[in-house]
């Protein structure tokens, strides 16, 4: 059940690390065709949500700025558009740093600030200091408004979505029989072997991975359909093997000359509640 045929092309509006655009391009056949409510507890840029355009959805992320961006487009896309036009006219280095340190009062201001910074900061990185203040320097991109922006259609699509700033467990616990949960957490593994994963560990601990596996297993046992993406690592496999999940290794790139350890870097694991063809 989706609005895919009736809606214009509606694309993710955030640039987000770990975004799953590549996944929907190559592996959309792993997503179920029929479901009641769509749940996405690690929303980020929502590549899978925008691909499916479900008629009913529950969306969440722990990041308050991400959620402010979605909620403000949902409630007042005209404000967001006007405000980004203003940012576009004013954009320069001084202005970027002024906006970066400015406290926002309303959710719409917070959403607009998030979009402006996400589009003009260095490499679209999201990083905050210990006080929760965004501290990424300015980048080279100058386009605040993109040709592909269609905030009105995004707002329309979001009208039938409930949006929460919350931990994943709160949302996964809402999944009922016939619903579909797509979960794309930050990747961490039990044995930290490289810096990237170590950094992620502060954001999403191994205990979080275990808690995620338990909540997805509970949802599966209630009859929900599950697709989880994660690191292709033995510790992750051990979490799901033996509980009736189906595991599949996928590759981010279509043809890779690399072999062995190099190739592994581009592989990810997809964990499904249903067998895939």
Q: Which residues bind ligand SAM (CB under 6 A)?
A: 16, 18-20, 41-42, 44-47, 61-63, 66, 167-168, 184-186, 203-204, 208
Smallest gap, in angstroms, from Cβ of residue 209 to ligand SAM? Answer: 10
Give the residue with the Cβ less far from ligand SAM, 66 or 272. Answer: 66
What are 118's two structure tokens? 């996400």
Give the residue with the Cβ less far from ligand SAM, 59 or 80. Answer: 59
DSSP 3-state of 154? helix
DSSP 3-state of 236? helix
CA distance 221 to 207: 21
Q: Residues for the chain: how many in total?
A: 277
Smallest gap, in angstroms, from Cβ of residue 195 to ligand SAM? Answer: 17
Give the residue with the Cβ less far from ligand SAM, 50 or 245. Answer: 50
CA distance 129 to 47: 27
Smallest gap, in angstroms, from Cβ of residue 271 to ligand SAM? Answer: 14
CA distance 226 to 219: 8
CA distance 155 to 161: 10
Ramachandran region, residue 14 (left: φ > 0; alpha: ψ -120 to 50; beta: rest)? beta
Give the residue with the Cβ less far from ligand SAM, 68 or 91. Answer: 68
Give the residue with the Cβ less far from ligand SAM, 58 or 91. Answer: 58
Smallest gap, in angstroms, from Cβ of residue 54 to ligand SAM? Answer: 15
In the numeric block, the tokens 């072997």 are attached to 193
Smallest gap, in angstroms, from Cβ of residue 39 to ligand SAM? Answer: 12
């Amino acid at each position: 059940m989706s609005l895919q045929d009736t809606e214009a092309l509606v694309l993710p509006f955030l640039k987000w690390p770990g975004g799953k655009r590549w996944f929907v391009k190559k592996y959309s056949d792993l997503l179920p065709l029929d479901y009641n409510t769509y749940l996405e507890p690690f929303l980020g840029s929502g590549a899978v949500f925008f691909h499916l355009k479900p008629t009913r959805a529950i969306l969440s992320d722990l990041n308050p700025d991400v959620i402010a961006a979605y909620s403000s487009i949902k409630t007042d896309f005209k404000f967001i558009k006007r405000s980004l036009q203003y940012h576009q006219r004013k954009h320069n280095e001084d202005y970027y740093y002024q906006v970066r340190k400015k406290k926002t009062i309303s959710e719409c201001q917070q959403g607009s600030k998030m979009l402006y910074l996400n589009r003009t900061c260095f490499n679209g990185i999201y990083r905050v200091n210990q006080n929760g203040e965004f501290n990424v320097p300015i980048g080279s991109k100058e386009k605040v408004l993109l040709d592909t922006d269609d905030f009105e259609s995004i707002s329309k699509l979001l009208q039938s979505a409930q949006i929460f700033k919350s931990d994943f467990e709160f949302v996964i616990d809402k999944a009922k029989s016939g619903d579909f949960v797509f979960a794309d957490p930050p990747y961490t593994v039990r044995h930290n072997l490289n810096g990237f994963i170590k950094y992620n560990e502060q954001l999403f601990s191994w205990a979080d991975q275990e808690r995620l596996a338990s909540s997805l297993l509970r949802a599966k046992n209630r009859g929900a359909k599950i697709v989880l993406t994660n690191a292709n690592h033995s510790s992750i496999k051990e979490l799901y093997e033996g509980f009736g999940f189906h595991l599949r290794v996928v590759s981010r790139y279509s043809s890779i000359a690399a072999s062995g350890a190099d190739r592994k870097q581009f592989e990810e694991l997809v964990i499904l509640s249903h067998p895939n063809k």
